[in-house]
Structure 1
């Protein structure tokens, strides 16, 4: 599976690079929109046959030097380069079950109220949240549970979620790219593989976004939400890693003190 993912990723990146970007002058009869296999192989200093086998998932083991050369040939960014290295590595040891959310983390969730805060795993499972998030969950027509209590699953399968995001497609694409960003290090995690398979089997939107092989690291930003009672509200968000459990992160959606959004959050918390 890891070799197939590696081949798919290489093909998708090769198709994205215009010949001019790689210093190649395309001829008048060129039909390939991106780079040809032989052009990548030449730029990376490997044989065409070997590179073809690599894209076909038939190569066991690739040196760091060759991977770095391929990254340069395909003009990969930092996150894409790291993703390439992870896909080409040894299969990851199956991770342990996520640890319990500690008292300190739960205290943090309460301390940031009335801002929204929740804990997610690297598979984007929701494992803890504070009172303002609980208030939102109570407004869902069907409250999620079990495997459905997952941020990515809810994004693609919960009508309530679609209605709450002012720019749903952009958010869904971003979340899929975050999930793809985890796929290299989660290749040995059965939970991760089940989630991706389930999403691909049930959502045409997810299949299309996943097939693009777009990856992105998490960066703090802001997003707009729609609330049926309070209207549209724009919140900033950031992630806090839990140092004693690398599988957990705290996501906080917040508003600057004294802002109109902060007043809305206070009303939401008391709703």
Structure 2
């Protein structure tokens, strides 16, 4: 198939999938009169997080380069199955999409041992944002109990449905929006996975803010800013966040919190002093 024919096939594929989408299924108002079936290009481009002019050129079969992230976004909006997703990538990029990494749900004893030797709060999370490994400093600073509850072990769920997050975080909205943008940026490979769809559907129902912000498609590739929270024993903590990929498990990230200023450093010592004694004893 030559390039012109391939782009024509892509244009036809996009058009037919757009026309199959009902406004009701996409959560859009149907009060206005529609002359054609399905979604308008303006509506589709908004749901997919791209400009309408750019999407129109794509649907017209013009010669433009399409990133995997854009195609994953379209696959999600169109709710394509695995075969349809492959077909979309082949028509647009002449290659099949990268398969998702397996969703890791546990860590090795060696990795847990590494966490335990870190004096500062640290945890490991997977693409679903489940906390699958953490140290006791993390618990003392962020939980206030001896262990994270099942609810607390999913960061996204806890952020949007746990009332304590709103009182403990100095700027809950900023943190919640940033968390959501990070989750979306790291979930391109997983948009067709059942767990991804279930988690998004659950939070859309449980949280008005999630329901409002999710369609905005904000993306943030990394979080390196400060996290400010109130601890019931020591008051305000200002923490710096550092994130690392786990090389032998590329779907995992290790996050370590350090003090961003001297007063917080003193408070962290107070909170974690018994643990430091165990590490050096």
Bucket of the pairwise TM-score, normalised by the shorter protein:
0.5 to 0.7
Q: How many angstroms apart in 2 are the aligned matches of 1:237 and 1:117?
A: 10
SS in 2 for 1:128: strand
Q: Deviations over 1:228-251 (max 9, x none)?
A: 221111110011111111121111
1:173 aligns with 2:177: yes
Structure possessing the higher relative contact order (Cα contacts under 8 Å, 6 or more residues apart): 1
Is 1:133 aligned with 2:128?
no
Tell me which residue corresponds to 1:21: none
**1:156 aligns to 2:168 (yes or no):** no
Kept in 2: contact 1:240–1:250 (CA 8 A): yes
Query: Which residue of the partner structure matches residue 221 of structure 1?
Result: 225
Q: 1:195 to 1:91 in 2, by over 3 A?
A: farther
Q: Which residue does the alignment assign to 1:110?
A: 116
Residue of 1, 4, 13 corresponding to 2:50: 13
Q: TM-score, normalised by structure 2?
A: 0.66
2:262 pairs with one of 259, 264, 267: 259
- Taking the aligned partners of 2:211 and 2:196, their CA distance within structure 1 comes to 15
- 3-state SS of 1:185 partner: helix
With over 3 angstroms needed to count, the CA separation of the structure-2 counterparts of 1:190 and 1:267, relative to structure 1, is same
- Native 8 Å contact 2:242 2:255 kept in 1: yes
Task: Evaluate the alpha carbon distance shift between residue 82 and residue 260 of structure 1 in structure 2; reply closer, same or farther with a 3 A threshold.
Answer: farther
Equivalent residue number for residue 268 of structure 1: 271
Distance 1:266 1:144, change over 3 A: same
Q: So what's the TM-score if we normalise by structure 1?
A: 0.68
Counterparts in 2 of 1:188 and 1:91: CA distance versus 1, 3 Å: farther
Q: More deviation in 179-188 or 198-207? A: 179-188
> Does the C-alpha gap of structure 1 residues 10 and 139 become closer, same or farther in structure 2, counting only changes over 3 Å?
closer
d(CA) in 2 for partners of 1:253, 1:93: 31
Between the aligned partners of 1:150 and 1:217, the Cα distance in structure 2 is 19
The one of 54, 68, 83 aligned to 2:69? 83
CA RMSD of aligned residues (A): 3.3
Q: CA deviation at 1:138?
A: 5.2
- After TM superposition, the structure 1 stretch with the greater mean CA deviation from structure 2, 181-190 or 154-163, is 181-190
CA distance in 2, matches of 1:105, 1:41: 44
Secondary structure, counterpart of 1:119 in structure 2: strand
Number of matched pairs: 216
Is 1:192 the counterpart of 2:196? The answer is yes
Q: In 2, are the aligned partners of 1:220 and 1:238 still within 8 Å (CA)?
A: yes
CA contact (8 A) 1:242 1:248 kept: yes
Residue deviations 1:59-103, cap 9 Å, x none? xxx99x6344xxxxxxxxxxxx56214435456646534153123
Is the alpha carbon distance of 1:176 and 1:225 closer, same or farther for their aligned partners in structure 2, counting shifts above 3 Å?
Answer: same
Quote the offset at 1:268 in angstroms.
1.2
Give the match's secondary structure for 1:172: helix
Unaligned runs of 5+ in 2: 1-16, 27-42, 75-88, 90-95, 275-281
Unaligned ranges ≥5, structure 1 = 15-36, 52-61, 69-80
Q: Which stretch shows the higher mean deviation, 104-113 or 201-210? A: 104-113
